[in-house]
Structure 1
Amino acid sequence: MKIPFLIICLFAVLFSCKENKDTSSEKKAVKKDSIEKEIEVNIPSNGKTDRDLRQIKFIEQEELIPFLKNYGKENPETIVEVETDMGNFSIELYPEPVLHRANFIRLTKLGYFDTTVFHRVDDNFVVQGGNSDRTATHQFRKAVGNYLIPNEFTSKYKHDYRAVSAAKYSEQNVSNASSPFEFFVVTKSNGAYHLDNDHTVFGKVISGMDVVEKIDDLETDGSEWPLTNVGMNIKVIR
């Protein structure tokens, strides 16, 4: 069943990193009616996965920390490759944000990100991925668990250009806990340091930043959802 466009936008907003930025680079507004038609065409709402989601362990908030710490020990990989229709880029995951790294590796191995798109583009600021209106994406979320990841911000890793950080609920989140499903890449050339402490940086793009910049240049609607759908396939390299 197709999810109404406005609900999709609201869902994306809730999981977006809603911060202030320099408004000198704001994009021109686009008419809403034409946007809705474009989104309907470019993002299939009945996308399904052939994965048996019943085999995925559902994680409760209370068991999250010990589970991810143990998962991280058994799955120590730190390099992933993000494949898109616009090219590929690689991410190095930092070891210190233990929970964030383990969670990202787990979702990658489960195939969750392969059902998602880059759903938010704020040019010269951030490119955000890990959500979509596909049925498979929401089925995956229900199967994985309804939890938030505790903030693991460290002064060692800041929101430099190329930084990979975790999105969060924009409201009623005094602890700055992270969404387990969405991440963003900083595309602001001189960094986005006002996000430090509010979001956890857990990696950086080590190659293919030109691809991220291409995504960053995409035209978007009023909710910053790209008019051109860019999906992703993420693979663990080592």
Structure 2
Amino acid sequence: MISALFYLAFLLFGFQQDPPIRVEMVTNYGTIVLQLSDETPLHRDNFVKLVKKGVYDSLLFHRVIGGFMIQGGDTQSKYADSLASLGSADLPYQVPAEIVPNLFHKKGVLAAARTNNPQRASSSTQFYIVQGKIQNDSLLAHNEGRINKMLARHYGVNDPANKPLVDSLETARTEKDSVLEKELDLRLNAILDTYWNFDKYAIPEAHRQVYKTVGGTPHLDQNYTVFGEVISGLEVVDAIAAVDTDGRDRPLSEVRIISMRIL
């Protein structure tokens, strides 16, 4: 009888999963609540670790582009003056890409910034929240082309047939041989501009409908890791995206993350 009760309890409760992790981000423009995706565990766990350590507390949103996204997480932004160049500082590691087909750049998603590296690995700390804009069929067709152009470059650079050229280019950059670098860069770009040996991406119909109604930035799909979304405070994202910025896309008045905590 007791064994049967334990078995019944296991059936009822044994398969229950923990709810998704939520993070409260308090800014000087209001509070945003983020929900992290369990489909991107490396990014989820890295973000949680940084939040618990207080890494994001007092950092700036250093790059803001209305109709596109708001970006923060530069570790040097906490005490930066208005003339400081921001956007290149983070912690000394990268997070491996976790590009999940059903996680796309609709309005309100949380995604990882990155350098232009062949592995598409993410910055350890820098992130962006999409504002985006409403799309139509023409814009979606254009952005689908942009996605495939970026995918062509990704797969082309990683094609073993192109490795000798890629390695030679990297050596020229390391040795600061600008003449050779320019020559090799032109040769590589000529190959990547016509590269075709990969499966072309088509924006799924379900995603298209969201882009047409909610909005977003579809040209980033399949090239950057989306690892969460805003579940409260989209109006704060809109308010931040509307601030005046300088020629570097840095807000003229500080937009600061006051604190983050796990809910």
TM-score of the superposed pair, with normalisation by structure 1: 0.61
SS in 1 for 2:61: coil
For 1:82-161, list aligned pairs within 5 A: 82-131=25-74, 132-134=76-78, 145-161=91-107
Report deviation, 1:214: 0.5
**Contact between 1:77 and 1:105, CA under 8 Å: does it hold in 2?**
no
Task: Report the aligned-residue RMSD.
Answer: 1.9
Match of 2:255 in 1: 230
Match of 1:217 in 2: 242
2: distance between equivalents of 1:110 and 1:76? 22
User: Taking structure 1 as reference, are residues 77 and 154 closer, same or farther at Cα in structure 2, changes over 3 Å only?
Assistant: closer
Report deviation, 1:77: 6.2
1:197 equivalenced with 2:222 (yes/no):
yes
- Give deviations 1:105-127, integer Å, cap 9, x for gaps: 00000000003111110101001
SS in 1 for 2:57: helix
2: distance between equivalents of 1:104 and 1:117? 16
Code of the residue aligned with 2:100 in structure 1: it is: T
2: distance between equivalents of 1:145 and 1:130? 10
Long gaps (5+) in structure 2: 1-17, 81-89, 134-214
For 1:15-34, list aligned pairs within 5 A: none
**Contact between 1:77 and 1:236, CA under 8 Å: does it hold in 2?**
no
**Contact between 1:124 and 1:188, CA under 8 Å: does it hold in 2?**
yes
**Contact between 2:57 and 2:260, CA under 8 Å: does it hold in 1?**
yes
Code of the residue aligned with 2:103 in structure 1: it is: Y
1: distance between equivalents of 2:119 and 2:19? 27
**Contact between 2:60 and 2:78, CA under 8 Å: does it hold in 1?**
no
Identity %: 38
**Contact between 2:31 and 2:233, CA under 8 Å: does it hold in 1?**
yes
Report deviation, 1:180: 1.2
Higher normalized contact order (CA 8 Å, seq sep 6+, divided by chain length)? 2
SS in 1 for 2:42: helix
TM-score of the superposed pair, with normalisation by structure 2: 0.56
In our comparison, the structure showing a higher alpha carbon Rg is 2
2:128 corresponds to which of 162, 177, 184: 184
- Aligned residues between the structures: 154
SS in 1 for 2:125: strand
1:208 corresponds to which of 226, 233, 236: 233
Match of 1:53 in 2: none
Moved over 3 A (4+): 132-136
- Give deviations 1:59-102, integer Å, cap 9, x for gaps: xxxxxxxxxxxxxxxx9861001101111010000011010000
**Contact between 2:20 and 2:37, CA under 8 Å: does it hold in 1?**
no
**Contact between 2:92 and 2:124, CA under 8 Å: does it hold in 1?**
no
Code of the residue aligned with 2:46 in structure 1: it is: N
1: distance between equivalents of 2:38 and 2:108? 17
1:165 corresponds to which of 108, 111, 121: 111
SS in 2 for 1:226: coil
